[in-house]
Amino acid sequence: MKTSFLFKHLACLLGFSLALLGPARAATPLQIYTEEWPPITFSENGKPAGLAVEVVQAIQARLGQADPIRVVPWARAWAMATNNPNVLLFTVTRTPEREGLFTFLGPVAVGTTDFYALRGANIRIRNLDDARELPSIGVYHKAVEEQLLLSKGFTNLDTAATPAVAARKLAAGRISVWCNANLTAHSIMDSAGLDPATIEKVFTIQENWLYLTFSRGTDPKLIDSWQHALHELKQDGTFERIYRHWLPGNPVPEMLERFGSP
């Protein structure tokens, strides 16, 4: 009788302990969003692909996670990440305004923000004042280029629903210049069925540092685990292999930092 009672008592305690441990051990589910921005992030045959996608998938593999990566319009992804906890949005260009919205982890790529014109259009831009005098500048809706130029007082922006639409507007002569990152401009032209050789960079606005970002309210322990996994990728050469596959000849951002909203 005593033995049976003791066994039932221990079994009860064990079950209670496991119930307490279960939620603590379970990984916090992440909603993961990215956009059509080749070759950094894009969809191919209905599946996410690109440099940053492979980095995220490598981190997930090390952590034993399998939350789906959704490739959606940037405005939708931005709304999800700025209004909900436990959202991973990538890639995000670092700006002072955005540091209050997200926890940044990276960088996963480094490039520049540039103005592109059609070759032979004879457009010369020496400074931002010259750009303000242009009839129209094509930008991607809600993307960092639009936010950057709006913050600098530009009123001649022509907003497009996707980067490919902005590229097609430039090719058709419907905008004066297209503002986009150097890392993706040629790939976007390709994806839009356009010849990248028909455009040329006419002015560089700034350097871009691109990161994985976690929304406010995301479990800090989960971010810790992603930071540790990304550190491992950069230490053992996995990150460099992925980077050189997608951006051969470009300097690899080997540093790792975390900053922004907790």
pLDDT tens sequence across 158-190: 999 999 999 999 999 999 999 999 999 999 999
Report residue 89's pLDDT band, with 50, 70 and 90 as the boundaries. very high
Domain with CATH 3.40.190.10 in the chain: 29-110+209-260, 112-207
Q: How far apart (Å, rounded) are the C-alpha atoms in residues 93 and 104? A: 10
Looking at residue 262, its pLDDT comes to 65
Q: Is the pLDDT of residue 97 over 60?
A: yes
Helix (H, G, I), strand (E, B) or coil at 262: coil
pLDDT tens sequence across 188-237: 999 999 999 999 999 999 999 999 999 999 999 999 999 999 999 999 99
Q: DSSP letter string over 103-156?
A: EEEEEEEEEEEEEEEETTS----SSHHHHHTSS-EEEETTSHHHHHHHHTT---
3-state secondary structure 27-71: CCCCEEEECCECCCEEEECCEEECHHHHHHHHHHHHHCCCCCEEE
Looking at residue 261, its pLDDT comes to 81
- Domain 112-207 fold: D-Maltodextrin-Binding Protein; domain 2 (3.40.190)
Q: Is the pLDDT of residue 25 over 70?
A: no
* 248 burial level (CB within 10 Å; 0-12, 13-18, 19+): exposed
Query: Which whole number is the average pLDDT over 10-31?
Result: 49
pLDDT tens sequence across 42-73: 999 999 999 999 999 999 999 999 999 999 99
CATH number listed for the domain at residues 29-110+209-260: 3.40.190.10
Looking at residue 2, its pLDDT comes to 41
Looking at residue 195, its pLDDT comes to 97
Q: Is the pLDDT of residue 12 over 80?
A: no
Percentage of the residues of the chain whose pLDDT score is greater than 70 = 89
